[in-house]
Amino acid sequence: MTTTPSRRRGGGPPDTAAPLTGRRAAVVLATVLIAAFMELLDATIVSVAAPAIAADLGAGEAAIQWTMAGYTLAVGAALVLGGRLGDQFGRRRVFLLGLTGFMLASAGCGLAPDPGVLVAARVVQGLAGGLMIPQVLGIIRASFAPQARAAALGVYGAVLGLASVAGPLLGGILTQADLFGLGWRAIFWVNVPIALAGLAIGHRALPDSRSPGAARLDLPGALLAATAAVLLLLPLVQGREWGWPWWGFALMACVVPVAAVFLRRERRLARRGGHPVLDPALLRVRAFAAGLAVCLLFFGALAAPLLLGGMGLGLTAPSLINVVLAGVSARDAGAAGGVLTTVTQLGNALGVAVLGAVFFARAADSAAGGATQLTAYSEGLSAILPWQIACYVAAAPLMLLLPARAQEPRA
DSSP state letters, 256-319: HHHHHHHHHHHHHHHHTT---SS-GGGGGSHHHHHHHHHHHHHHHT--TTSHHHHHHHHHHHHH
CA 29 to chain centre: 17
d(CA 20, CA 408): 17
Q: What angle do CA 188, 191, 194 make, to 5 degrees?
A: 165
Q: What is the pLDDT of residue 396?
A: 75
DSSP per-residue string spanning 82-137: HHHHHHHH-HHHHHHHHHHHHHHHHHHHHH--SHHHHHHHHHHHHHHHHHHHHHHH
In 3D, which of 256, 323, 315, 319 has the Cα closest to residue 289?
A: 323
The model's pTM is: 0.74
Q: Are 281 and 270 in contact (CB under 8 A)?
A: yes
Distance, in Å, from the CA atom of 137 to the CA atom of 52, rounded to the nearest integer, reads 35
72 neighbors 201 (Cβ within 8 angstroms): no
Q: Say if residues 137 and 340 touch (Cβ distance below 8 Å).
A: yes
Asked if 363 contacts 341 with a C-beta cutoff of 8 angstroms, the reply is no
| Calpha distance 84→276 (Å, rounded) | 8
- The dihedral formed by the CA atoms of 387, 390, 395 and 397, expressed in degrees to the nearest 10: -170
User: What domains are defined for the chain?
Assistant: 22-399 (1.20.1250.20)
| CB-CB contact of 77 with 232 (8 Å) | no
Q: In tens digits, what is the pLDDT along the chain, a chain of 411 residues?
A: 333 333 343 344 444 456 777 788 889 999 999 998 998 888 888 878 888 898 899 888 778 878 888 888 888 888 888 888 888 888 899 999 999 999 999 999 999 999 999 999 999 999 999 899 889 888 887 788 877 877 887 788 778 767 777 887 888 888 888 888 889 999 999 999 999 999 999 999 898 887 765 567 788 888 888 888 888 878 877 777 788 889 989 998 999 999 999 989 988 988 888 778 777 877 777 777 777 777 776 666 675 555 455 555 555 666 676 667 666 766 666 677 777 777 776 776 666 667 767 777 787 788 888 877 778 777 877 887 787 778 777 777 777 777 666 555 544
What integer pLDDT is reported at residue 308 of this predicted model? 52
Q: How far apart are CA 205 and CA 265, in angstroms?
A: 38
The residue length of the chain stands at: 411
- Cβ 103 vs Cβ 95: under 8 Å: no
Q: How far apart are CA 298 and CA 290, in angstroms?
A: 12
pLDDT of residue 201: 93
178: left (phi over 0), alpha (psi -120 to 50) or beta: left
pLDDT confidence of residue 260: 92
Residues 6+ apart with CB under 8 A from 312: 303
Local structure of 375: helix, strand or coil: helix
For residue 247, the SS3 value is: helix
